[in-house]
Amino acid sequence: MGLFRLTPSDGGVSLLWHSGYYVPYERFNKNRWVAATIEDFTYSGEFSWTNGGQPVVFDPVNGGTGLVTGDLAATDFSPGSYDPFPGSPRPVQFVLTVTPISG
């Protein structure tokens, strides 16, 4: 299981992604396996969202499109702590288009 949340707003985008859990198993005895450790990876950041150099004005009815830029943090969770990946955060850039679906 995981969680992915992308929250657009006027001129900004918030990202939180807890990716799936990694659980290696070890043989406990002849008929039983147990989890050795549990890890998950988290990516997060607060980004600017612009179109033609101007902040995107997000309209939930009509959507919006623009260039997302900022620093993406990556961490590794293992029991007891979140540890940043070496070199984290890293600069990212991508085009985001939000198209509402009418119900």
| Range 15-42 average pLDDT | 77
| Range 27-34 average pLDDT | 79
Instruction: State the sign of the Cα–Cα–Cα–Cα dihedral 46, 82, 87, 42.
Output: negative
Range from 23-37, 41-55, 59-73 carrying the lowest mean pLDDT? 23-37
Sorted by sequence, the CB contacts under 8 Å of residue 82 that are 6+ apart come out as 42, 75, 76
Report yes or no on whether pTM surpasses 0.95: no
Tell me the pairing of strands 3-9 and 32-35: unpaired
DSSP category for residue 1: -
Other beta carbons within 10 angstroms of residue 71's beta carbon come to: 13
